[in-house]
A and B are shown apart, each in its own frame.
Chain A
C-alpha cells in the first residue's frame, strides 16, 4: 500500500502542484481571450457575428490617430531609453566608489507607477511648475511656457516623452546591465592587447555580445509601449489619442464593450506581431562558434 502511494506521489505530485496555476490560467486568461475575440466580432446591437466593430473603427479618425500616436510615442521613447540605458550601464560597469548607490537610485522609478510619474512631471512642467519658476526668476522668460492643453499638443508629447524616459528607462537598464556583466573580461583585455580603440571595443565586442539582452529589452519595452495609458491619460487626456486610452474611453465613457474588445484585440495582435518581428530581426551573433 505504502509503495503504491509512493508511486502515485512520484508520478502525479508534480502535476498536482501545477494544477492550481493551470486552472487559473484556463479560467482567467484563456477564457477571457476567447471572450475578447467573441465580443470583438459581435455586433453591439443585433448580437450577430459581424465585422461591424472593425468597420466602425476604420471609419473613426480617432482610431487612426490613436494608432499613429501610439507608434509615434514608442518610436521616440524607445530609442532614447535604449541609448540612455546603454550609456548608464557602461558608466556603472566601471566600478567606482558609490557606484552601487547610483545603481539603486537609478532603479527607483521601477517602483513608481505611470500615474505617479505623470504627476511628478506635471509638477515640474505645469504653469506654476519648477521649470517655469526657474526660467522666470532668472529673468529668461516673461510668461510661463505651456506644456498642457489641446493647443499645445506638441508640448504635451514632449512632456509624455520626458515622463516615459524618466520612468521606464530603468527596466531597459536592468536588462542591458545584466547582459553587460556577463561579458568576459578576457575579450576586452585581448582587445586592449591588440590596441583596439574604445569605439572598436564597443562596436565589435560589446554590441554583438549584448544583442540578446538588447532583444529582450526591446521586446519588453515595445510591448509595454503598445499598452501606454496612465501617463498619457493624466498629462494629455484624449488630446493625444492612444490605443489603450481609446479602449478605456469606449468601455467607460461610451459603455460599448464590443468596440473596446476590438481595440484590445488590435493591441494584442500588434504586440504579438512586433514580438515575432524582433525575434526574427535580432538574431544573436556569436563571437565564438
Chain B
C-alpha cells in the first residue's frame, strides 16, 4: 500500500513537471499569436489582462502597406534556391560516401563533420567583397550560395545516412535486370529515400528561412524577411513587431507538425 502511494506521488510529480515544460514552450508562442492579432488599442491598454478584440490589421499592414510580402517572397526564394543547390551538390556526395569504399573517404568525411561546426558568419564579410567582383552583390542567388555553406555538410551527412539505410541489394537486383547504375539509383533508391529526403529539405528550409546574419550583410535592397525585420523592427510600432514574429514562426511550425517523426530522425543524424 505504501509502495503504491509513492508511485502515485511520483506520477503526479512527473505530470506536474511535464506540464511546466509544455507551458514554458507553448505560452510564449500562444502570446505572440494573440499579440499579432490583437486590436492595437486593446494591446496598449495595460489594465486589460489579455486583449480580447482581434483583427488582421497588423498582419495586413506589415505585409501590404510596409511591403513585407516582398521580403517574405525573397526568403522563400532564397530557401528554395538553397535547397536546390545544396541537394544538387550534396546528394551525389552522400551517395558516394554511402555506397563506395575509396581512398581518402575518412578524411573527406572528417572534413564535412568539421565543417558542420564552422562558424559560417565568418564567411559573410569576404563574400561581400568577392560578390562585388563577380557581380553577385545584392542578389538572392548570392545569399543562397552562402546559405549552402551552412546547409551542405548537413545534406551530405543526412543523405549518406539515408542511402546507407537502403540495402545495396535492391540496386544490384535492378542492375542484374538491365538497369544502369544511374537508372537503378533514380528508379529504386531515390524513391525509397524520398520521405527522409523531404525531411532533410525541410531542415534546410528552416536553416535558411531563419538565418539573419549572412542575409543582412549580403543583401541591402532585396532583403529577406529576418534581415528586413532586423533593420526595421527597431522603429516599427509594437503590434507590427508581433505580426512579424508571427509570420516568421508560422511556416517552420507547419512543416514541423507534418514532418515531426522524420525530423527527429534527421536531427538525430546531424548531431552524431
Docked Cα-Cα span, A32 to B121, in Å, equals: 11
In chain A, residues 1-35, which have Cβ atoms closer than 8 Å to a Cβ of chain B?
9, 13-15, 17-18, 20-21, 24-25, 28-29, 31-33, 35
In chain B, residues 119-159, which have Cβ atoms closer than 8 Å to a Cβ of chain A?
119, 121-130, 145-146, 148-149, 152, 156
B46 touches A105 (CB 8 A): no
In chain A, residues 248-282, which have Cβ atoms closer than 8 Å to a Cβ of chain B?
248, 251-252, 257, 260-261, 264-265, 267-268, 271, 275
A116 touches B249 (CB 8 A): yes
- Tell me whether B31 is interfacial, beta carbon within 8 Å: yes
A128 touches B128 (CB 8 A): no
A271 (CB) vs chain B CBs: closest residue: B119
CB B227 to nearest CB in A, in angstroms, measures 9
Would you call the interface of chain B mostly helix, strand, loop, or mixed? helix
B17 touches A13 (CB 8 A): no
A88 cross-chain contacts in B, Cβ below 8 A: 21
- Other-chain contact of B50, A17, A105, A133 (Cβ < 8 Å): A133
In chain A, residues 34-48, which have Cβ atoms closer than 8 Å to a Cβ of chain B?
35-36, 39
B125 touches A251 (CB 8 A): yes
Between B48, B206, B245, the greatest number of chain A beta carbons within 10 A of the residue's beta carbon is seen for: B245
CB A118 to nearest CB in B, in angstroms, measures 8
Report if A233-B230 is in contact (Cβ < 8 Å); known contacts: A29-B118, A96-B15, A111-B253. Answer: yes
A20 touches B92 (CB 8 A): yes
Interface size class of B (residues with CB under 8 A): 35 or more
CB B198 to nearest CB in A, in angstroms, measures 15
Docked Cα-Cα span, A174 to B44, in Å, equals: 39
Docked Cα-Cα span, A234 to B105, in Å, equals: 43
B115 touches A32 (CB 8 A): no
- Other-chain contact of A98, B18, B97, B229 (Cβ < 8 Å): B18
B126 touches A108 (CB 8 A): no
Docked Cα-Cα span, A107 to B128, in Å, equals: 34
- Tell me whether B268 is interfacial, beta carbon within 8 Å: yes
- Tell me whether A147 is interfacial, beta carbon within 8 Å: no
Would you call the interface of chain A mostly helix, strand, loop, or mixed? helix
Docked Cα-Cα span, A234 to B229, in Å, equals: 9
- Other-chain contact of B44, A24, A128, A257, A268 (Cβ < 8 Å): A128
CB A261 to nearest CB in B, in angstroms, measures 5
Residue-wise interface mask of B (82-105) relative to A, using a CB-CB cutoff of 8 A (1 in contact, 0 not): 000000111011011101101001
A237 cross-chain contacts in B, Cβ below 8 A: 234
Docked Cα-Cα span, A106 to B212, in Å, equals: 23
In chain A, residues 93-127, which have Cβ atoms closer than 8 Å to a Cβ of chain B?
94, 96, 98-99, 101-116, 119-124, 126-127
Docked Cα-Cα span, A244 to B11, in Å, equals: 45
A248 touches B126 (CB 8 A): no
Report if A105-B21 is in contact (Cβ < 8 Å); known contacts: A17-B95, A252-B216. Answer: yes
A229 touches B121 (CB 8 A): yes
In chain A, residues 160-176, which have Cβ atoms closer than 8 Å to a Cβ of chain B?
166, 171, 174-175
Residue-wise interface mask of B (10-44) relative to A, using a CB-CB cutoff of 8 A (1 in contact, 0 not): 01001101100110111011011001000000011
B125 touches A234 (CB 8 A): no
Residue-wise interface mask of B (189-215) relative to A, using a CB-CB cutoff of 8 A (1 in contact, 0 not): 000000000000000001001111100
Docked Cα-Cα span, A146 to B71, in Å, equals: 32
A39 touches B249 (CB 8 A): no
- Other-chain contact of B28, A24, A134, A166 (Cβ < 8 Å): A166
A109 cross-chain contacts in B, Cβ below 8 A: 25
- Top 5 nearest A-B pairs by Cβ distance? A113-B210, A119-B245, A17-B96, A35-B126, A111-B252
Residues of A within 8 A of B (CB): 9, 13-15, 17-18, 20-21, 24-25, 28-29, 31-33, 35-36, 39, 88, 91, 94, 96, 98-99, 101-116, 119-124, 126-128, 130, 132-134, 136-137, 144, 166, 171, 174-175, 178, 216, 219-220, 223, 226-227, 229-230, 233-234, 237, 244, 247-248, 251-252, 257, 260-261, 264-265, 267-268, 271, 275
- List 22 interface pairs A-B (beta carbons < 8 Å), by A numbering: A9-B181, A17-B96, A18-B92, A18-B93, A18-B108, A20-B92, A28-B146, A29-B123, A33-B122, A99-B18, A108-B253, A115-B248, A119-B233, A119-B248, A120-B249, A122-B241, A128-B46, A136-B47, A178-B268, A227-B121, A234-B234, A252-B220
Residues of B within 8 A of A (CB): 11, 14-15, 17-18, 21-22, 24-26, 28-29, 31-32, 35, 43-44, 46-50, 88-90, 92-93, 95-97, 99-100, 102, 105, 108, 111, 115, 117-119, 121-130, 145-146, 148-149, 152, 156, 181, 206, 209-213, 216-217, 220, 226, 229-230, 233-234, 238, 241-242, 244-245, 248-249, 252-253, 255-256, 260, 263-264, 267-268, 271
Given contacts A29-B149, A91-B17, 5 further A-B contacts (CB under 8 A): A21-B90, A115-B212, A115-B230, A174-B267, A230-B226
